[in-house]
Amino acid sequence: MKKGLTLIELMITITVFVMLAAAIVYVLRAVLLTWSSQEIRAGVDINLDRGIEEMVRDLREAKTIQSSNDEIRFQDLSSYYVYYLYNPNDAYPPSFSQAFYQLKKAALAGNITGNFTYGAGDIKIIDILPPPVSDLSFNASITTIDLSIKRRDETIRSRTQIRPRNL
């Protein structure tokens, strides 16, 4: 009587190991994709929250606010600023025909109706979807900030309304 494995036993063992390895790879891939998606979403959340929080602080303390063409102009203690959506492929005023925009804050020359250079200012939020998905407006003493951001397959929307204290 010879001891050892037959070819059939060896084939069955290899098949079981291959199926087990495939199942482990499938589960590991699903976990890594979920982790990556959550990491992207967390980064988008942080970027969006930080930018909107700064806007809320500025607009809550504003003395004067105007809105048109999805931009918000305001006066703080002594200076005038504008929050606006920017894409280098658009001219001013933007047609919002591009896929993504940046929210920028720029100083206005003169007063609240003053001029600014389109593209100038600090970037506050990136990857913003254009209007009508996103909206910056001021009506009846309420400022509305409604922004949607998309990165890869993740889309996050943040909407808030602000009632300025000093108007």
31 or 34, greater pLDDT: 31
Per the CB < 8 A criterion, the answer to whether 70 and 137 are in contact is yes
59-71 per-position pLDDT tens digit: 999 999 999 889 9
49 or 17, greater pLDDT: 17
118-153 per-position pLDDT tens digit: 999 999 999 999 999 999 999 888 999 999 988 777
Beta strands in 30-164 (DSSP E): 64-68, 71-75, 80-86, 101-107, 122-128, 135-139, 142-151, 154-162
Whole-number pLDDT of residue 96: 93
Whole-number pLDDT of residue 77: 85
Q: Which token pair is 140? A: 């009846």
pTM: 0.75
